Copies of this chain bind each other. A is one copy, B any other.
Amino acid sequence: MCDQCNYENLLSNADLVATTNRIQVLEIVGNNTFPLSAGDIYAILERTSSINRVTVYRILDLLVEHGVVDRISTGGRAFYYGIAPNEHHKPHPHFYCRICGQMDCLSPESVTVDIAPLLKTYPGRIEKVEIRIDGICKNCAKVGKK
């Protein structure tokens, strides 16, 4: 997703020791142009590393907690993970294909939001705004599944 990112730095900036496992997980998340599920990430890692499934979950939790990675909910049952918004990566909406489960990043400009009225009146704490477009992606639409 990003050339400017040094993943070890990202980790230490987030007060996290840059262990091999953490770097590997973060690399996979970061080098993808679209968010991946924990299962996806584990499947990729498993091919070259002997990391445990649970460790992947725990590292993802940790990265989310420290704001390095963003947990994105889909129209499906699993969470997806992408690099958290930062100076190089503006927050942006996502598209979820209900046929193939593929999740795409949309450009930040493709959808504009104004939550000012909410901020003025909402009595709780607002931490995150998630915008997800659901539908059928180009490929699946072509195949003609309804």
Contacts and interface: CB of A to CB of B under 8 A. Distances in A.
Interface of A: 71, 73-75, 77, 93, 95, 97-98, 106, 109-115, 117-118, 121-138, 140-141
Given A73-B132, A110-B117, 6 more contacts: A106-B122, A110-B121, A126-B135, A128-B135, A129-B133, A130-B133
Nearest to A115: B111
A129 B144 CA distance: 22
Nearest to A106: B118
Contacts of A127: 98, 134-136
A73 B94 CA distance: 14
A95 B124 contact: yes
Contacts of A111: 113-115, 117-118, 129
A109 B116 CA distance: 10
Contacts of A134: 126-130
A95 B95 CA distance: 20
A25 to B, nearest CB: 20
B113 A131 contact: yes
List the 7 closest pairs (A to B, CB-CB), nearest first: A110-B118, A127-B135, A123-B138, A125-B136, A128-B134, A124-B137, A126-B135
